[in-house]
Amino acid sequence: MKKMLMAIAAVALLIGGSSAIARTEGVDITKDGFKDTTVTIQSGDSVTWKNTDSASHQVMVDNTSCKLSLEPGQSSSCTFATPGTFKFQDPTAKGAGFTGTLTVGQNTRSVSMTSSRSTVILGDAVTLSGTVSSKQAGENVTVVAQSQGQPAMTTQLATTSGGNWTLQVQPQMNTTYQAQFDGANSTSSAVNVRPRITLEKVGRSRYLAVVIAARSMAGKTVNLTRRSNGNWVTIAQKQLQSIARTNTTVVTTFSASVNLGTKLRVFMPAEQTSPGYLDGHSNFVVN
């Protein structure tokens, strides 16, 4: 029993977490008019008008639904999805300073993403990396992680020299990743995960199997297999049981009398590991 508990304790699990927001341009409204009368953005971007005057002002953008009423000190934004050239104005004020031109160009921003690995064992690290189209350092990139059956998780980071970015992740189950930058999305990259399974001999003809996953696999079946003529042949099956105070580590023991020199390992088929995991197998031990 002592050796069994030591074997369980020796198995280490390394478990390694907002949508992209497009750019926002700002325009102050003063007593003399708009501080910027020519504004250029890309589709999907926003413009925020802020009333810095002591009087109320309005903002209307022709041929759009953007209509704002701003009291002193207030600010509000509109997002523009359609490329084109639009006139904006304050219909309540007089003077040339209270009209302007908004140019919305086609969104040409982009972000790339590659994954260092497509299949891992739970706890293994994966490096995601890419480049943003601006090629500038300090740009904000959001990486969205969508694990099977789980809420999306997001991580924000800043680009380094040349617009490059890198993020190390440790997916806990099958996960799809996507990078977002100023309204642009990278292609998605899927990383599939196998449960972490170990096998250790803990006594004469006795073997301990330990399975670790981000969700409980108690009650699932594992197969003890032996190497025979180049193939792994099942010689016993057992159901996994939870360890006290944790439901992510499950164990079982096998009793198997095999010839000296026989290679043994534990295997879990996909129908036992799913959903969220690929099939998995342990290290092998030699009797």
Q: With 50 as the cut, is the pLDDT of residue 285 above it?
A: yes
User: What integer pLDDT is reported at residue 244 of this predicted model?
Assistant: 64
Q: With 60 as the cut, is the pLDDT of residue 3 above it?
A: no
Categorize the per-residue pLDDT at 21 as very low, low, confident or very high, splitting at 50, 70 and 90. low
User: What integer pLDDT is reported at residue 279 of this predicted model?
Assistant: 97
Same fold, 24-105 and 114-193: yes
Which CATH fold would you assign to the domain 24-105?
Immunoglobulin-like (2.60.40)
pLDDT digits (tens, 9 = 90+) for 226-243: 999 999 999 999 999 988
E strands in 106-240: 114-115, 119-121, 126-131, 140-147, 153-158, 164-169, 175-181, 184-185, 189-194, 196-203, 206-212, 221-228, 231-239
User: What integer pLDDT is reported at residue 60 of this predicted model?
Assistant: 97
Q: Tell me what the mean pLDDT of segment 46-60 comes to.
A: 97
Per domain, the residue ranges of the chain are 24-105, 114-193, 195-286
Q: Facing residues of 60 across strands?
A: 67, 89
The residue ranking higher by pLDDT, 94 or 8, is 94
Q: Facing residues of 255 across strands?
A: 206
pLDDT digits (tens, 9 = 90+) for 126-182: 999 999 999 999 999 999 999 988 899 999 999 999 999 999 999 999 999 999 998
Task: Report the C-alpha gap between 209 and 141 in whole angstroms.
Answer: 41
Task: Report the C-alpha gap between 173 and 163 in whole angstroms.
Answer: 30
φ/ψ of residue 212, rounded to 5: -120, 130
Class of domain 195-286: mainly beta
The SS3 assignment for 112 reads coil
Evaluate whether the domain defined by 114-193 bears CATH number 3.30.1050.10.
Answer: no
Tokens 């031109």, residue located: 101
Tokens 């810095």, residue located: 52
